[in-house]
Chain A
Amino acid sequence: MNRTFICIVCPVGCEIEARIEESSEGPVILEIAGANCIRGRTYVENELKNPMRIVTSSVRVTGGNMPITSVRLTAPVPRNRMMDVIEELRKVRMTAPVSIGQIVIQNILGLGSDVIVTKPVNKSDD
């Protein structure tokens, strides 16, 4: 079976053609072409096995000059767990000030990825 993938690892967005065969241990890549770098193959392997994605969102901050700060994962999680991550983030309430890189949730849901702050929020002036 031939399948085309658009690599999402970097902005180049390589169009990767792969010839795939089903085996007892799942899909196997027989031939792969079109990736500009080595990360393309890893991406296709993951897409066949278990697609991984970064989640970015926002969490509430009390006492800050903004009502929310933005957050992201430090490592990708399985695509089908993105909504679970979002649900966890809904429960979070931080207190200003917060700074970039501050850990919001360590090893979220045991997925081996931390949630970190990506925008500084200072204490509100009043």
Chain B
Amino acid sequence: MTAENKRKDMNIPSQQDSQQLVSQPASQPVCSDVIIIGGGPAGLAAAIELKRLGVADILILERENEPGGILRQCIHDGFGLVRFNESLSGPEYAARFIDQLKELKIESRTNTSVLEITPDKKVIAASRQGLTTYQARAIVLAMGCRERTREAIRIPGSRLAGVYTAGVAQSYLNLKNIMIGRSVVILGSGDIGLIMARRLTLEGAQVKAVFEIQPHANGLPRNIEQCLNDFNIPLFLSHTVTNIKGRNRLEGVTVSQVDENLMPIPGTEKDYACDTLIISVGLIPENELSEMAGVILDPRTHGPLVDENYQTTVSGIFAAGNVLQVHDLVDFVSLEAERLAASVAGYLETDTLLSADFTPAEFIPIEADQSIAFTVPQHVSGQADFILSLRVRHPFRNCQIVLLQDDQIISSVKLRKAIPAEMIQIPVKSDDLVSREKITVVLEYE
């Protein structure tokens, strides 16, 4: 069946469902085989790989005025070491993909903000041309993630100037050439906060310290080395900001030590004078649109539940990159999106991926023990090889991650160290599965 006939077959409804939040314009929807929501690293890699696999009719919708996503403001280097075997800055890494996008003549619409996705794969987007309704056969969710804010962690004090999330600080410096302060305290040891500690120091600010509420660092060890240790910036674990002082502009913060339940210990308060507080306390996958389409999220990852094809709980809606799970490296985002593309191309052949008689109840669940924060995928059909991504909850040394089914070991990997900051990926072959029973992932250590 040709793509054109399939579209006719899909019987696109012309009547607006009254339940929808956004009213649909009267004109006919714009049809595409695949609509990719977001032109960041995941969306770009998915689009290029889809085109390479012979899918012709692809459309990327991007809310910013150019593609590239967060890479545009990540001017530090270290991108591409896995994917291209060279150390590039973020904009250079993005340009590799944007150049290919142009070469392959893949259509992308920028300044186009998606407002709604429906379970039957309609996409409603706003742009200067007004509201447009698109109809896709498959949707790729590639919206990425956003930062947790001061409000999300409930730091008391006035709402004064000088408090920024790390990514906002990064966009001021790296996109707008605006310096944000002279004396800086950083809360949270996430990678962007560490990168900003170095950037602000080189730009002449005094970065006094980084405070992390957990007893372990959240950022990659190499970033602690080259962004903090190189500049003698101290990192205090099990500490958090408990008060913000000042009236119009930040004048200082109070920091307290926390106990094993992460509660501030009275009497440990210490004041630090500063005009800027940078908050780098984690990233949350951005899934409001996914939920509108009926996609079920995993409370552990805040991303969609997916199978080994990166297909969500809604048939024909797929997810990869930071919207699915927050990654450490953009290289892994690109690789994940390229694997997703192979699944989407397969889906488009017959408008389904799993064999015709497969029911969702037949999925093999993947369960993890208490030492493991989550796994992606969360369930598999057992019909394809896959890569199991996971993170440990706490640091471990000389440990082993074992996949069990019916008490039999189906795969295992030994690790000298496992830390929450580093995602662990284990390739699993469908042939290695021994039954249709659940897969259990356990962490064994000495």
Contacts and interface: CB of A to CB of B under 8 A. Distances in A.
A11 B81 contact: yes
Contact of B230 (A11, A13, A56, A79): A79
A7 B222 CA distance: 7
A34 B416 contact: yes
Given A8-B222, A56-B76, A70 B91 contact: yes
Interface string B205-243: 000000000000000111011100010000000000000
B177 A58 contact: yes
A92 interface: no
A30 interface: no
A57 B226 contact: no
Interface stretch (A21-29, A60-68, A103-111): A60-68
A20 interface: no
Contact of A119 (B75, B173, B422): B75
A72 B89 contact: yes
Given A34-B416, A58-B177, A70-B75, A11 B226 contact: no
Nearest to B421: A13
Contacts of B226: 8, 53
A70 B174 contact: yes
Given A72-B77, A86-B202, A119-B75, A66 B82 contact: no
A83 to B, nearest CB: 7
Nearest to B176: A67
Contacts of A67: 176-177
Contacts of B77: 54, 56, 72
B221 A15 contact: yes
A70 B202 contact: no
Given A11-B81, A54-B87, A82-B202, A68 B95 contact: no
A119 B225 contact: no
Interface string A39-69: 0000000000001011111101000001110
Given A11-B81, A67-B176, A55 B95 contact: no
A100 B71 CA distance: 15
Contacts of B88: 118
A79 B226 CA distance: 10
A68 B422 CA distance: 33
Contact of A11 (B75, B78, B92): B78
B206 to A, nearest CB: 14
Contacts of B174: 58, 68, 70
B81 to A, nearest CB: 5
Contact of A56 (B75, B331, B422): B75
Interface residues of B, number: 33
A98 to B, nearest CB: 12
Contacts of A55: 202
A5 B225 CA distance: 9
B57 interface: no
Given A6-B225, A53-B226, A66 B87 contact: no
A67 B173 CA distance: 11
Contacts of B220: 11, 13
Contacts of B221: 6, 13, 15
Given A11-B328, A13-B220, A72-B77, A118 B87 contact: no
B414 interface: no
A11 B329 contact: yes
Given A8-B222, A11-B220, A100-B92, A68 B177 contact: yes
Contacts of A66: 175
A52 B230 CA distance: 11
B176 to A, nearest CB: 7
A96 to B, nearest CB: 14
Contacts of A100: 91-92, 95
22 contacts: A10-B81, A11-B78, A11-B81, A11-B82, A11-B220, A13-B222, A13-B422, A15-B417, A51-B230, A53-B230, A54-B87, A57-B203, A58-B174, A60-B177, A66-B175, A72-B75, A72-B89, A82-B202, A100-B91, A118-B88, A119-B91, A120-B95
4 residue pairs, one from A and one from B, having the closest CB atoms: A70-B75, A119-B91, A13-B222, A118-B89
Given A8-B222, A83-B202, 5 more contacts: A6-B225, A56-B76, A57-B202, A66-B175, A118-B92
